[in-house]
Every structure is written in structure tokens, then in C-alpha cells.
Amino acid sequence: MVFTHFRARPFHLTLQTFKLMCAVHLFQTHVFAVGATSGPSMCPTFAVDGDWVATDMTHARNRRKELRIGDLVQYRIPILENADGIKRLVGLPGDYVCMGTPGERGEDQMIQVPEGHCWVLGDNLTASRDSRIFGPLPLALIKGKVVARVLPYGQSGWLHNPLQSAETSQLGS
């Protein structure tokens, strides 16, 4: 009798571990995720390597309709397979955006962001692969809103949208 109880215990432990892994996966996919940033496209907001950020996944696909111009979003890069990026949201459906790099000679054509899409840019325009390269980003590729820097500890804290709405700025004056 004791021997059969001992044999059943590893199965129980494996089952509980599997349940925990599923719960963590669902939490990270649909609620909140933490991950590392890399690359120069978001300098100076994030370092080229070593920053870790927290992403609120409830903003995926803008289903809560709370994403605003100036927010940082994590998204699936449409021109790479299984790669995510972080960029600043600069255009929502119906907005007009400049297709080129501001201040540079050349393409200064404006387009209207189509319904169901958004326009994202890196903070470091000269080193960013963003909507200027791949065009309007489908909202379906938005995975969440980046809300906090987790590491390095000395710079950790909530990330705030640097832009104010017109109503907010008028109230302050």
C-alpha cells in the first residue's frame, strides 16, 4: 500500500507543475509580461541592451480602446518571423502621419492611417525599423502597452506617456 502511494506522488507532482506552467503562460500572454529590450531603436528611452520592461497585455489589439498617441507598445514585427518589438505609437486609425523621417530631405508624403491599423516609430529614428519601413501596423499585432521599466534597479519605475491631451494642458493654464 505504501509503495503504490509513493508511485502516484510523482504523477501528482507532474500534474501540479503542468497546471502551474499553464497558469503562468496564460497570465503572461493575456495579463502581464516582463521581458528584455534590445537594439538601438528606442534610445534614449531604453538602453541598447540590459533594460527589462513590464507590459500590460490587456491592451492587446487595443481592445480596451485606451491606447493613446505617445504610448509605448509591444508588437509582433510584421516583417520578421516570431519577433517582437517596442515602439512609440504615433498614429491611430484615421490620423494623418508623415511617411518619411521628419527633418530629412526626400519623402514627406502624408498618409491616413487605415481603419484597424496604427503607426509606430522608434525614438531613435536613424536606427529604427518601424512603420516607415513596413507601413501601417495592424492593431491585431499589438501585444500590449509597455508600462514600467523593471531593470536596471536604479532606473526602474512606471513609464508615463510624455504627451498631454489638449484638455489636460488647457486645464493647467
- Which residues are tagged catalytic? 41, 87
CA distance 137 to 117: 5
Amino acid type, 173: S
Q: Which three cell numbers stand for residue 109?
A: 508624403
Q: Tell me which residue of 86, 94, 90, 95 sits closest to 144, measured CA to CA.
A: 86
Q: Kindly tell me the burial class for residue 130, based on how many C-beta atoms sit within 10 Å of its own C-beta (0-12, 13-18, 19 or more).
A: buried
User: What are the C-alpha distances in Å from 100 to residues 18, 121, 125, 167?
Assistant: 48, 11, 10, 29
